[in-house]
């Protein structure tokens, strides 16, 4: 037995394919009656029969409203311990650990700390009192919710044992079954996608004609997207624009603090990637005078406080991505798990930027994704070796400037429904981009410099890039600052900048 002072404060936050039995169990969960697979049918998307003649200018005020986003029903608060799907032992251990760290707490404070209605907490407190682990040390005579509880000596011993088993303290977890059901309600498939909403999400960019007509159906499908093409033409910006669309106009979804799987806890809510929208409600719920109070009573219609309401998440990874980041991370000291990145991205976007430049080989990474892309199910291994099936409900985007034929094979490309090529800009689009970059830097635009660039470089076999205007103008400004002269575009100035920028190394 360890000494109380040696117990560090726990954190309050939140392969091989399995056999057919595991697959059938998961299939049953995904076909439970009464839970729709997708959102209600969205209004038809009225794409024009032909793309616009010129580049799409998305430098305009945003007109679409996030209030038009689809509604996702929140999970409802449980009425009894049985409704939570959790064991009496798990909830009792959470209460023991809370009392061990806080010395004594009022019944309502225990309910708020565990994010459970007091009626549920009361079942565990009654059990702990019968076991001589908890005693009442005071309180008002208005019911058990106002009683002040503290641990007995036996309770302190039980609390230490609970810490040895798992050091997680905080909101009670939800069951894997409940998590799967909610993921199905808030899937990315079927999200309404209108042309104007996409334009608003790409605010600040110039897009080639027809690009929205390629991107729109890809978003509506909710399936994977492969964006490829030479560097410097906005693949990353377009990928992030898709993320902004789902974040702004995809509606709000719910993510739990933690998940329970066979008495093991997996923390899921991550404030660094999940943008919450329920802060005001939580502040009100924590107000003792709040009405209705989800902790004090089983008020019908109250959302389950074990979940947080967030905007659809957008998680981006680059060259740092490894296979370990796609697996459960087990803390051997705390004895609970942290969810991998793609599990945190459920209901949103998971962007793999610079695909092919990761530490892990593309083939290994692609093999890891084949099953989730095909069946929208992923299997995660626990420290015990047991596998758990989890939803893969996200819009996954691969972005690369490498030759796709050197990265992926036909079997993988078949599983990626939408392939979008981002190539060099046409001259008309390049001119628009150059003029826009001049306006942003308050430099007078001179069409003669574009003629010079095409005559000297682009018409001689060097393909233009959408990033060239920005880079060339930055060099030109640096030259003028060094010479203590105003930045005035001339052929001579752009020639000096080009010699530095396009030099062969």
Phi, psi (degrees; rounded to nearest 5) at 153: -60, -40
Q: What is the pLDDT of residue 474?
A: 95
d(CA 212, CA 113): 47
pLDDT band, very low/low/confident/very high, at 53 (cuts 50, 70, 90)? low
pLDDT at residue 26 greater than cutoff 60: no
pLDDT at residue 206 greater than cutoff 50: yes
Across 171-199, average pLDDT = 89
pLDDT at residue 20 greater than cutoff 70: no
Q: What is the pLDDT of residue 267?
A: 96
**322-374 per-position pLDDT tens digit:** 888 899 999 989 999 999 999 999 999 999 888 888 888 888 888 888 888 88
Burial class (CB in 10 A: 0-12, 13-18, 19+), 48: exposed
Q: What is the pLDDT of residue 296?
A: 64
Weakest-pLDDT range from 84-93, 203-212, 254-263: 203-212
Q: 443 by DSSP, 3-state: which?
A: coil
Q: What is the pLDDT of residue 91?
A: 95
> Could you tell me what percent of the chain has a pLDDT over 70?
82
Weakest-pLDDT range from 21-35, 329-343, 461-475: 21-35
Instruction: List the Cα angle 503/504/505 in 5-degree steps.
Output: 110
pLDDT at residue 34 greater than cutoff 80: no
pLDDT at residue 39 greater than cutoff 50: no
Across 1-9, average pLDDT = 41
Q: 444 by DSSP, 3-state: which?
A: coil
Burial class (CB in 10 A: 0-12, 13-18, 19+), 449: buried
Contact 473, 430 (CB under 8 A): no
Across 87-97, average pLDDT = 95
d(CA 400, CA 423): 12
SS3 content of the chain, % helix, strand, coil (to 5): 40, 15, 45
**265-283 per-position pLDDT tens digit:** 999 999 999 999 988 888 7
Q: What is the pLDDT of residue 169?
A: 94
pLDDT at residue 292 greater than cutoff 80: no
**128-169 per-position pLDDT tens digit:** 999 999 998 876 666 788 889 999 999 999 999 999 999 999
pLDDT at residue 89 greater than cutoff 90: yes
Q: What is the pLDDT of residue 4?
A: 40
pTM of the predicted model as reported, rounded to 2 decimal places? 0.79
pLDDT band, very low/low/confident/very high, at 427 (cuts 50, 70, 90)? very high
Q: What is the pLDDT of residue 165?
A: 92
Choice between 48 and 364, residue whose per-residue pLDDT is larger? 364
pLDDT band, very low/low/confident/very high, at 101 (cuts 50, 70, 90)? very high
Reading across the β-sheet that carries 104-106, which strands appear in turn?
104-106, 147-151, 134-139
Q: What is the pLDDT of residue 433?
A: 92
Q: What is the pLDDT of residue 168?
A: 95
pLDDT band, very low/low/confident/very high, at 46 (cuts 50, 70, 90)? very low
Across 110-134, average pLDDT = 93
**Mean pLDDT across the chain:** 82
pLDDT at residue 288 greater than cutoff 70: no
pLDDT band, very low/low/confident/very high, at 189 (cuts 50, 70, 90)? confident
DSSP state of 9: P
Across 46-68, average pLDDT = 47
Phi, psi (degrees; rounded to nearest 5) at 165: -75, -45
Choice between 409 and 463, residue whose per-residue pLDDT is larger? 463
């Amino acid at each position: 037995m360890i000494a109380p002072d040696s117990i560090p404060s726990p954190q309050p936050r939140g392969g091989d394919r399995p056999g057919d039995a595991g697959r059938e169990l998961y299939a049953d969960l995904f076909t439970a009656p009464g839970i729709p697979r997708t959102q209600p049918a969205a209004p038809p998307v009225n794409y024009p029969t032909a793309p616009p003649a010129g580049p799409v200018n998305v430098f305009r005020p945003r007109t679409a409203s996030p209030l038009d986003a689809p509604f996702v029903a929140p999970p409802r608060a449980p009425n009894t311990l049985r409704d939570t799907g959790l064991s009496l032992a798990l909830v009792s251990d959470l209460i023991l650990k809370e009392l061990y760290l806080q010395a004594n707490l009022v019944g309502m404070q225990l309910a708020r700390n565990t994010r459970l209605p007091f009626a549920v907490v009361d079942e565990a407190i009654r059990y702990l009192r019968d076991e001589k682990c908890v005693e009442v040390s005071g309180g008002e005579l208005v019911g058990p919710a106002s009683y002040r509880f503290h641990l007995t000596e036996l309770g302190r011993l039980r609390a230490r044992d609970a810490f040895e088993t798992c050091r997680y303290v905080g909101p009670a977890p939800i069951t894997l079954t409940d998590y799967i059901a909610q993921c199905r309600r808030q899937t990315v498939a079927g999200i309404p996608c209108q042309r104007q909403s996409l334009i608003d999400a790409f605010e600040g960019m110039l897009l080639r004609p027809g690009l929205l007509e390629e991107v729109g159906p890809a978003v509506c499908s909710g399936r994977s997207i492969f964006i490829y093409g030479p560097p410097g033409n906005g693949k990353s910006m377009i990928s992030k624009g898709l993320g902004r669309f789902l974040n702004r106009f995809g509606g709000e979804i719910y993510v739990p603090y933690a998940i329970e799987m066979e008495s093991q806890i997996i923390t899921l809510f991550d404030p660094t990637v999940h943008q919450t929208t329920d802060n005001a409600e939580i502040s009100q719920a924590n107000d003792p005078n709040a009405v209705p109070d989800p902790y004090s009573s089983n008020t019908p219609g109250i959302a389950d406080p074990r979940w947080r309401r967030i905007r659809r998440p957008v998680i981006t990874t680059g060259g740092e991505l490894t296979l370990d980041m796609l697996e459960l991370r087990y803390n051997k000291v705390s004895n609970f798990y942290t969810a991998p990145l793609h599990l945190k991205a459920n209901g949103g976007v998971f962007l793999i930027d610079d695909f092919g430049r990761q530490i892990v080989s593309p083939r290994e990474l692609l093999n890891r994704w084949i099953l989730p892309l095909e069946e929208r199910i992923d299997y995660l291994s626990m420290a015990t070796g047991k596998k758990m099936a989890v939803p893969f409900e996200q819009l996954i985007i691969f972005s690369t400037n490498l030759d796709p034929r050197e990265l992926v094979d036909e079997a993988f490309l078949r599983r990626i429904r939408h392939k979008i090529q981002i190539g060099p800009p046409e001259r008309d689009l390049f001119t628009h981009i150059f003029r826009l970059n001049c306006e942003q830097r308050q430099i007078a635009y001179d069409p003669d410099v574009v003629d010079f660039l095409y005559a000297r470089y682009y018409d001689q076999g060097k393909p233009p890039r959408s990033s060239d205007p920005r880079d060339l103008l930055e060099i030109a400004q640096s030259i003028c600052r060094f010479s203590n002269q105003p930045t005035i575009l001339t052929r001579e100035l752009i020639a000096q900048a080009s010699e530095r920028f396009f030099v062969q190394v």
